[in-house]
Amino acid sequence: MAHQEFGPKLLDRILTELAQIAEKEREGRFEGRRFVSYLKPKRDKRQQNRESENETQTTANIMKEIKNINETKN
C-alpha cells in the first residue's frame, strides 16, 4: 500500500474537527486497505446529571424496598 501515513493524519484532522461532539472510542488501525477508528458521541453535562439523578433515585427506591421487607418480617 502506498502512502499509509495519510490515514492517521487524516483521522487526527477529523478528530480535531469533531472534538466538541465526539471522542475516540478505539485507536485507529488498518483493516485491510482501510484505516479505521471508532468514535462515540460526547456526553453533555445535562445527560450526565440525568444519569446520576436516575442512579440516586434507583438507590433510594432499593433502600425503601429493603426497609419495607425488613419491617414486614418483624
CA distance 71 to 8: 62
Please tell me the predicted confidence (pLDDT) of residue 13: 92
Q: Dihedral of the CA atoms 19, 21, 26, 28 (nearest 10)?
A: -50
pTM: 0.50
Please tell me the predicted confidence (pLDDT) of residue 50: 77
Paired strand residues for 39? 24
CA distance 40 to 22: 5
What is the chain's pLDDT, residue by residue, as a tens digit (74 residues)? 678 888 889 889 989 998 888 888 988 899 888 889 999 988 776 777 777 777 888 888 888 888 888 888 76
